[in-house]
Amino acid sequence: MKGRTSQFQGRPPGFIFSKEREPRERKSGPSRAGTATLHCEGLPAAQLAHRFGTPLYVYSVSAIRERLEAFERVFRKVPHTICYSVKANSNLSILKLLANTGCGFDVVSGGELARVIRADKRAAKRVVFSGVGKTRDEMRAAIRAGILLFNLESESEMRVLAEVAAGAKRTVRIAFRVNPDVPAKTHPYISTGLQKHKFGVPIGEARGLYAKASATKNLKVAGVSVHIGSQITDMKPFAASMERVAELVRELRSDGHRIEYVDAGGGLGISYEKGSSGFEGPVADYAEALLRPLRKLDVHLLLEPGRSIIAAAGILLTRVLYKKRNGTKQFLVVDSAMNDLIRPSLYQAYHEIVTIAGDGSSPNETVDVVGPVCETGDFFARDRSLPSVNEGDLLAILDAGAYGMVLASNYNTRPRPAEVLVDGKSAKVIRRRETITDLMRSEV
C-alpha cells in the first residue's frame, strides 16, 4: 500500500485509501493502526464487510453523481437527455437516485420498464425502449406508461407496434435503430454495429422503412437511433457511425419526415486496467465524435450511457477462504464466484483486484484468484501479482458496478450477494442477501 494517496490510480472519489490511527479492536471489526485502508466515501471497506458480510457489492453515491454530472457538463451546449442504460445496473435505489437528477432511461425489456416506473413514475416520459424482441405485452405497458420513444429494429416490429397502438387508441413516437455497418474494437459479444449482428435495420433500407412508418396510422416518425456496441474506447467508430446517421437525417428530412431526435446509443468504455486519469476528458472526446457530424441539424440528442456511469462506482468485496498450491500454481480461493461476477469468465475481462489494507511491506506473489463454483472457468484473475494475503483477509474487485449483479445467477444453488449504497458516512442495504429459502420458494 506504500505510496497510495487519497484517490488511487485516478479512481473516482468514492473509493479512497487513507491512513487512520484507530484502536486495534473496534465493534465494527479489527483494524490495524496507521495502515492504509480502502474506504468507500467515509466508511472503511472492512467495516462494511463486517457489518453486511461477504460477498458484498458496494456502490458510491458520489462516484455515480460525479460521472453523471460530467456528461451533463460536456453536453450542456446542445439539447440532450441522458437516458441511463438500465441493463448495466438495474437496482431500484440506483434508478431512483438517477431519476431524482432528471435522468432518463434506456430499457430493453418490460421488466426494466417496470423497474423505472417503480423507482419514479414520472421518469417514464424520459424512457426510450430498445431491443430486438419486444412483445405485445411489453409494448402495451410502454404505451400505457407514456414513454418518450420506441426504437424499432425490424419492419415486422413496426407492424406489430402499429396494431398494439391502434388497439390502445394512441399514437406513439418511433425511431428505427439503423445498423451503420461500422466495426467497433470491443469484445465480439458486445459489438452490435455490423450487418452480421442481429441488431437494427440496414442503413441503406432505412428510407423505405421510414416511408412505410410515416404512412402507418398510430405511428409518428420522430427520430433515428444507432448503437454500435459496448466498452468502446476508440472514438473513431462513434464518429463514423454518426456521420452516416447525420446523412440519413438529411435524407429523411428531404423526404418530408420531421426528425426531432437522434439517439446516439451508448457504448463509451472505461479503462479496467489503469483506472482513469480523469473522466471528463474521455467524455469530451466522445462528445466531439458525436457532435461534429450533427452540427446545424438542430436535433435533440439522446445518450444511453450505462457502464461509463456505474462501473467505477461499484466494487465487490470478497474474503479469502483458502490458500492452496497445485504444483507451481498458487490459488486464492475466495467466497465470491462466477455466479456473482461473471465478466472474467464470460468475456475474459480484466478487473483490478486490491487488498483492502496494508503498509506496503508485504511481498507480492503470483496467484490465481478463484471461487468455489465447480467450474475451471470460475476465476477472477489468473497469474496476477498481488501482495501476499492470509486466509480471512479481504479483497476488493474494482469497477464491478456495471454488469455485475445484473448478470448474477444462483448457479450451484448459491444465494446472490447483498448490495449496499454508501453516501458519505451512511450505508444502506439496497438489496438484502438472498437465502437458500429464497431460492426454493418458487419451486413446486
Closest CA to 242 of 254, 225, 229, 255: 225
Decide if 298 is inside a domain: yes
Task: Give the end of a domain, one of 289, 311, 333.
Answer: 311
Q: What is the CATH number of the domain that holds 429?
A: 2.40.37.10
Indicate if 136 and 101 belong to the same structural domain. Answer: yes
As a whole number of angstroms, the distance between CA 308 and CA 255 comes to 36
Mode of pairing for the β-strands spanning 36-40 and 43-44? antiparallel
Indicate if 236 and 91 belong to the same structural domain. Answer: yes
Indicate if 193 and 210 belong to the same structural domain. Answer: yes
Q: What is the 3-state secondary structure (H, E, C) of the chain?
A: CCCCCCCHHHCCCCEEEEECCCCCEECCEECCCCCEEEEECCEEHHHHHHHHCCCEEEEEHHHHHHHHHHHHHHCCCCCEEEEEEHHHCCCHHHHHHHHCCCCEEEECCHHHHHHHHHHCHHHHHHEEECCCCCCHHHHHHHHHHCCCEEEECCHHHHHHHHHHHHHHCCCEEEEEEEECCCCCCCCHHHECCCCCCCCCEEHHHHHHHHHHHHCCCCEEEEEEECCCECCECCCHHHHHHHHHHHHHHHHHHHCCCCCCEEECCCCECCCCCCCCCCCHHHHHHHHHHHHHHHCCCCCEEEECCCHHHHHHHEEEEEEEEEEEEECCEEEEEECCCCCCCCHHHHHCCCCCEEECEECCCCCEEEEEEECCCCCCCCEEEEEEEEECCCCCCEEEECCCCCCCHHHCCCHHHCCCCEEEEEECCEEEEEECCCCHHHHHCCCC
Q: How confident is the model at residue 195 (pLDDT cuts 50, 70, 90)?
A: low
Determine what percent of the chain is predicted with pLDDT higher than 90.
80
Task: Give the end of a domain, one of 258, 280, 311.
Answer: 311
| Res 25 pLDDT > 50 | no
| Res 201 pLDDT > 50 | yes
As a whole number of angstroms, the distance between CA 13 and CA 66 comes to 8
- What are the tens digits of pLDDT across the range 301-324? 999 999 999 999 999 999 999 999
> 151: which strand partners?
175
Say what the pLDDT of residue 3 is: 41
Q: Quote the pTM value.
A: 0.91
Other beta carbons within 10 Å of 144? 12
Domain count, the chain: 2
Q: Which residue did the predictor score with more confidence, 44 or 280? A: 44
Decide if 190 is inside a domain: yes
Say what the pLDDT of residue 35 is: 75
Indicate if 215 and 319 belong to the same structural domain. Answer: no
Q: Which domain holds residue 78?
A: 62-311
Decide if 1 is inside a domain: no
| Res 4 pLDDT > 50 | no
Q: What is the CATH number of the domain that holds 248?
A: 3.20.20.10
Indicate if 338 and 417 belong to the same structural domain. Answer: yes
As a whole number of angstroms, the distance between CA 128 and CA 132 comes to 13
Say what the pLDDT of residue 12 is: 64
Establish how many alpha carbons lie within 13 A of residue 417's alpha carbon, considering only the half-sphere containing its beta carbon.
Answer: 29
Indicate if 142 and 213 belong to the same structural domain. Answer: yes
Mean pLDDT of 77-88: 97
Q: Report the interhelical angle of 110-119 vs 136-145 (nearest 10°).
A: 20
Extract the C-alpha cell encoding 137: 405485452
Closest CA to 147 of 156, 155, 131: 131
As a whole number of angstroms, the distance between CA 67 and CA 91 comes to 18
Indicate if 254 and 359 belong to the same structural domain. Answer: no
Q: How confident is the model at residue 23 (pLDDT cuts 50, 70, 90)?
A: very low
Mean pLDDT of the chain: 90
| Res 22 pLDDT > 50 | no
As a whole number of angstroms, the distance between CA 98 and CA 83 comes to 10
Indicate if 50 and 146 belong to the same structural domain. Answer: no
Indicate if 169 and 26 belong to the same structural domain. Answer: no
Say what the pLDDT of residue 1 is: 38
Other beta carbons within 10 Å of 332? 25
Which residues have CB under 8 Å from 298's CB, separation 6+?
Answer: none
Indicate if 200 and 68 belong to the same structural domain. Answer: yes
Indicate if 112 and 134 belong to the same structural domain. Answer: yes
Determine what percent of the chain is predicted with pLDDT higher than 70.
88
Decide if 3 is inside a domain: no
Decide if 260 is inside a domain: yes
Say what the pLDDT of residue 26 is: 46
Which residues have CB under 8 Å from 331's CB, separation 6+?
Answer: 322, 323, 324, 325, 367, 368, 369, 370
| Res 150 pLDDT > 80 | yes
Q: Which of 189-203, 253-267, 361-375 comes out lowest in average pLDDT?
A: 189-203
Q: Which are the catalytic amino acids? A: 374
Say what the pLDDT of residue 198 is: 64
Cis check: omega of the bond before 55, within 30 degrees of 0: yes
Decide if 424 is inside a domain: yes
| Res 70 pLDDT > 60 | yes
Task: Give the end of a domain, one of 250, 283, 311.
Answer: 311
| Res 380 pLDDT > 70 | yes
Q: Which of 135-149, 188-202, 389-403 comes out lowest in average pLDDT?
A: 188-202
- What are the tens digits of pLDDT across the range 88-145? 999 999 999 999 999 999 999 999 999 999 999 999 999 999 999 999 999 999 999 9
| Res 20 pLDDT > 70 | no
Mean pLDDT of 384-402: 96
Extract the C-alpha cell encoding 353: 483486484
Indicate if 337 and 428 belong to the same structural domain. Answer: yes
Say what the pLDDT of residue 6 is: 42
As a whole number of angstroms, the distance between CA 207 and CA 257 comes to 10
Which residues have CB under 8 Å from 111's CB, separation 6+?
Answer: none
As a whole number of angstroms, the distance between CA 82 and CA 98 comes to 10
Q: Which residue did the predictor score with more confidence, 276 or 360? A: 360
Decide if 2 is inside a domain: no
User: Averaging pLDDT over each range in 193-207, 261-275, 430-444, which range is the top one?
Assistant: 430-444
Q: Which residue did the predictor score with more confidence, 59 or 278? A: 59
